[in-house]
Amino acid sequence: MALPIGVLALQGDFREHAATLDHIGVQHRLVRTVEELESVAGLIIPGGESTTIQKLATMFGLFEPISEKIRNGLPVFGTCAGLILIADRLLDGIEGQSTFGGLDVTVRRNAFGHQSDSFEIDLDFAGLDTPVHAAFIRAPIIESVGPNAVALATLPDGRIVAAGQGNLLGISFHPEVTGEHRIHRLFADLVKRAI
Ligand code: GLN
C-alpha cells in the first residue's frame, strides 16, 4: 500500500485499532492534524464518545477537512462512535451534535438500555465465511439504511449493526477489542482498491 491508513487519535480506543492494523501487517499512522490527514489513504474513526470526538475535531480544525475528504471518496471505517460520526442522520444526539456524514443511514445513539449497555455476540457479516465475535459497548444501532447504503450485519432480532456504501464502512460494535481482525482486513482491501 502506497500510503498508510490513518487512525483518528483524538479520543477513544484508537490504540486498539492501531494494534489490530499492526497484527495484520498494515502500515498506519495516528491522525491529529490536517497535515497528518493529508498523508493517509484511508481513515479509521474509533469508538469512544462521539460528542467528544466531534468537539476535539472542531478544535483541531479537522471537522470540515474530514467531512470534505469523505465527500471526495476517502475510504473511512467507523466503529461505534465512529459509525455515529459518519452517519448522515442521527437520533438521540445531544443538543448541537453533528456528524461528518457520508453514510446514508440513520443511527440512534446509546440504543441499548442500561441492562444491556454492553454485551458480546457472534454475528454473520457480509463477505466473511464464519461469524464475527462482536462486542457492543454503549453502542448505537442503525435504525434505517437509505437507498445508497447496504446493511452488512444484523442482530438476531433483525436490527442492523453494520452498513457499507462505496468506500465507507460503519459498524456498531468493536472488533478491535475481541481479536477479530477480518473487518480491518476488509477495510484495508477497500483502501488498496481505492488507491
Ligand atoms: N455511546 C458512545 C457515543 O455516543 C459510543 C460508544 C462507543 O463508541 N463504544 O459516542
pLDDT digit string, tens, across residues 63-100: 999 999 999 999 999 999 999 999 999 999 999 999 99
Average pLDDT over residues 49-54: 97
**Residue type (1 letter), 112:** F
- Residue-level pLDDT at 116: 64
Q: Are 176 and 16 in contact (CB under 8 A)?
A: yes
Name the catalytic one among 17, 28, 174, 181: 174
Q: Are 163 and 146 in contact (CB under 8 A)?
A: no
Please give the class, per CATH, of domain 5-194: alpha beta
Residue 113 clears pLDDT 90, i.e. is over it: no
Show me where the domains of the chain are located. Answer: 5-194
Which string of b and e fits 52-61 if b means at least 16 CB within 10 Å? ebbbbbeebe
Classify the C-alpha dihedral 100-39-170-70 as positive or negative.
positive
Residue 1 clears pLDDT 70, i.e. is over it: no
Higher pLDDT, 114 or 101: 101
pTM over 0.85: yes
Question: What residues does ligand 1 touch, defined as CB less than 6 Å away?
Answer: 47-50, 80-81, 84, 109-110, 137-138
